């Protein structure tokens, strides 16, 4: 077995690899140092219509106001899906560039673009959004049924996105919709080495109809199968929001919340704003003695390249 050097728990390109496997028990989550909580807000998504959900931020102005509100509430990163002039999901580079640069000018948030897009988006457009100069980008590690649709993520697209991110100094966030996608992540890291920044960060997306359930049991199974040294957040879709949030906090994880995943705050109460969801997450994280990380602390943890102009750096 090789003991080649590791950065952030993954192999370096060109180094011999060790067998793929779960983290050693000695490095289990309960032994890891306690840190603050990275709160990511996913404010819009690609699935809901503005006509059905008036509080959904779809214009650049709404997105910027949402980002500012969520930053003040404790978010450190924003996961962005962009809408066009008709509020339809788009990967058009003009729209994406405008949205990302506007949020970067108005906030200190780590800016993550979605490469998942909508289930109807093709591979070329999903790779091309990386030219909009995000700090980070989502990278889903496998195909998953998505309600009546299929969210297609074949191996060759995963590799292509991964390498394109590294070429552009973009930090991936590996989106995990099912346990087996962690096997694909290990295969990816063993074949291609560490991502830009040298650190692996995953987001467990739980409760999509067709993916893993939004349960503590599924979360614990995923955490045991993460690459050594990885950090992770979790997001529970719909009614899975609170069970997943509480399980993630108790297992040392970070949180993603937002109207991409949750439209109901409590039974009979539609979500009023993304800020409302971030405030609840920040309050629970603080109660757990793991208060929200600042954007600067999130940058350091994730290995983000600083793209902010000198006059906006915090």
Least distance (Å) from Zn ion to the CB of residue 30?
A: 30
Partner interacting with residue 140 (select from Zn ion, ligand KMH, none; CB below 5-8 Å by kind):
ligand KMH
**Coil, helix or strand at residue 286:** helix
Residue 146, binding choice from Zn ion, ligand KMH, none, Cβ under 5 to 8 Å by partner class: ligand KMH
- Give how far the C-alpha of residue 210 lies from the chain's centroid of Cα atoms, to the nearest Å: 19
Touching ligand KMH, residues 248-307 (CB under 6 A): none
**Near Zn ion in 97-126, by CB under 5 A:** 114
| Residue 25 structure tokens | 């028990």
Please give the C-alpha separations between residue 286 and each of 39, 97, 110, 230, in angstroms, as whole numbers: 12, 34, 21, 22
Selected from 69, 71, 135, 175, the binder of ligand KMH by CB under 6 A is 175
Q: φ and ψ at 257, to 5 degrees? A: -135, 165
Q: What's the closest the beta carbon of residue 177 comes to ligand KMH, in angstroms?
A: 8
Site string for ligand KMH, 26-45 (x = CB under 6 A): -------------------x
Q: By the 8 A CB rule, do 137 and 112 touch?
A: yes
Binding-residue pattern over the window 128 to 147 for ligand KMH, x denoting contact by CB under 6 A = ----------x-x-----x-
Which secondary-structure segment (H or E) carries 162? helix 155-167
| Six-digit token string for 133 | 């100069």
Please identify, using beta-carbon distances, which residue of 235 and 273 lies nearer to Zn ion: 235
3-state helix, strand, coil in the chain (%, to 5): 35, 20, 45
Distance in angstroms (rounded) separating the CA atoms of residues 163 and 167 = 6
Q: Is 151 in the site for ligand KMH (CB under 6 A)?
A: yes
Which of the 8 DSSP states describes residue 211?
B
Residues for the chain: how many in total? 314
From 37, 107, 115, 235, residue interacting with ligand KMH (rule: CB under 6 A) = 115
Nearer to ligand KMH, 112 or 186 (CB): 112
d(CA 119, CA 243): 26
- Using CB under 6 A, pick the residue from 107, 114, 273, 274 that binds ligand KMH: 114
Three-state SS at 82: strand
Of the pair 114, 184, the CB lying nearest ligand KMH is at 114
Indicate the SS3 state at residue 86.
coil
| Residues near Zn ion (CB under 5 A), total | 1
Q: What sign does the dihedral 104-166-116-21 (CA atoms) show?
A: negative
233 touches Zn ion (CB under 5 A): no
Question: Residues near 7 by Cβ (< 8 Å), separated by ≥ 6?
Answer: 194, 198, 199
User: Shortest approach of ligand KMH to residue 188 CB, angstroms?
Assistant: 15
Among Zn ion, ligand KMH, none, partner that 276 touches (CB below 5 to 8 angstroms by kind): none
Least distance between ligand KMH and beta carbon 45 (Å) = 6
Stretch that binds ligand KMH, among 4-12, 60-68, 110-118, 277-285 (CB under 6 A): 110-118
Q: Does 174 bind ligand KMH (CB under 6 A)?
A: no
Instruction: State the minimum distance, in angstroms, from the CB of residue 175 to Zn ion.
Output: 7
C-alpha 160/C-alpha 144 separation (Å) is 18
DSSP helix/strand/coil, 285: helix
* Least spacing, CB of residue 125 vs ligand KMH, in Å: 13
Positions touching ligand KMH (CB under 6 A) are 45-46, 114-116, 118-119, 138, 140, 146, 151, 175
């Amino acid at each position: 077995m090789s003991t080649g050097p590791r950065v952030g728990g993954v192999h370096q390109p060109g180094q011999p690899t060790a067998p793929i496997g779960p983290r050693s028990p000695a490095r289990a989550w309960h032994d890891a140092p306690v840190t603050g909580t990275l709160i990511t807000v996913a404010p819009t998504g690609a699935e809901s219509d503005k006509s059905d959900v008036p509080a959904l931020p779809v214009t650049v102005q709404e997105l910027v106001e949402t980002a500012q509100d969520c930053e003040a509430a404790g978010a450190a990163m924003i996961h962005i899906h962009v809408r066009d002039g008709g509020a339809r999901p788009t990967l058009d580079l003009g729209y994406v560039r405008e949205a990302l640069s506007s949020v970067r000018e108005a906030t200190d948030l780590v800016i993550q673009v979605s490469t998942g897009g909508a289930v109807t988006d093709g591979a070329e457009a999903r790779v091309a959004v990386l030219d909009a100069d995000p700090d980070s980008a989502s990278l889903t590690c496998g195909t998953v049924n998505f309600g009546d649709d299929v969210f297609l993520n074949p191996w060759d697209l995963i590799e292509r996105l991964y390498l394109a991110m590294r070429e552009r100094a973009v930090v991936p966030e590996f989106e995990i919709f099912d346990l087996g996608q962690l096997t694909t992540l290990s295969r990816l890291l063993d074949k291609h080495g560490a991502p830009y920044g040298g650190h692996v960060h995953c987001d467990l997306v739980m409760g999509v109809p067709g993916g893993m359930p939004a349960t503590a049991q599924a979360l614990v199974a995923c955490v045991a199968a993460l690459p050594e040294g990885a950090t992770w957040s979790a997001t529970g879709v719909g009614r899975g929001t609170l069970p997943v949030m509480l399980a993630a906090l108790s297992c040392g994880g970070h949180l993603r919340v937002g109207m991409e995943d949750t439209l109901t705050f409590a039974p009979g109460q539609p979500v009023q704003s993304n800020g409302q969801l971030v405030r609840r997450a920040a309050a629970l994280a603080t109660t757990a003695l793991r208060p929200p990380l600042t954007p600067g602390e999130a940058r350091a943890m994730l290995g983000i390249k600083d793209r902010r102009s000198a006059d906006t750096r915090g």
